[in-house]
Structure 1
Amino acid sequence: MTWVPDACTLPTVDQPLRLAEFDDVFAESGRSVERSAETAVRVEFEPASTVAARLADLAMRESSCCSFFDFTLRMSDARLLLDVEVPAAHVPVLDALAARAAEAMAGERA
């Protein structure tokens, strides 16, 4: 939790719950995570409408408390992609999110 930036307006008590939501969707539906640029990560998910709805809801809520995130959800060619971009000042937050995604997909988080 030490990587959550001061810019985050989500109440501290709710932050572990939000992280758990990200961990769950990464573990349950994530397929891969890759760095697409220094300030961007692309996460591929199981291409299902329920997963897309879940990701859209989570991205909307996360954007409301951490406005520096730019989430783009794309569905094409039987793929579901979530692109996450941040300003250069928030690359450590993006690094932590990418690491959480990779760990959850590998089954390393409980």
Structure 2
Amino acid sequence: MSDHDITTDESWVPDACTLPTAERPLRLAEFDQFFRAAVRGADRVSAEHLRLRLDGGEHVEETARALTARESSCCSFFAFDIARHGPDLLTLDVRVPAAHVDVLDALAARATAVRAPR
């Protein structure tokens, strides 16, 4: 990851996040890189539930599992579920309680804004 990949736009980082402030730009850059490389589409299942359709590559699944595990450790209100639907498709379901719908809104907007056009 290079410095030009690092974003300082923390507008979607919730106050409840316990990740040290100094580490947030790197985590945001990790999410941006993941969204750009892996997200194929997004579906809003409900106000509290976002489903991201991902490239089915093995490295994508490994990255998704590692990234969501780290995110769960600092923002415990997120619930992530990764499922494989064949060799070419994974889904990443992201759920939040009603009190954090604004964070999910921002995450959904970020995922679709930075993903590479297909």
Q: What TM-score does the superposition give when structure 1 sets the normalisation length?
A: 0.92
- What's 1:93 paired with? 103
* Residue 76 (1) aligns with residue 76 (2): no
Aligned residue for 1:90, secondary structure, equals: helix
Identity between Structure 1 and Structure 2 (%): 50
Unaligned runs of 5+ in 1: none
The aligned runs of 1:1-110 (5 Å cut-off) are: 1-78=10-87, 79-106=89-116
Considering only aligned residues, what root-mean-square deviation do their CA atoms show, in Å?
1.2
Unaligned runs of 5+ in 2: 1-9
Number of equivalences: 107
Once the two structures are overlaid, the 10-residue window that deviates more, 83-92 or 14-23, is 14-23
**Distance across 1 between alignment mates of 2:22 and 2:35:** 22
**Distance across 1 between alignment mates of 2:11 and 2:55:** 30
* 1:8-41 deviations in Å (ceiling 9; x for gaps): 1000111111111111011012100110111010
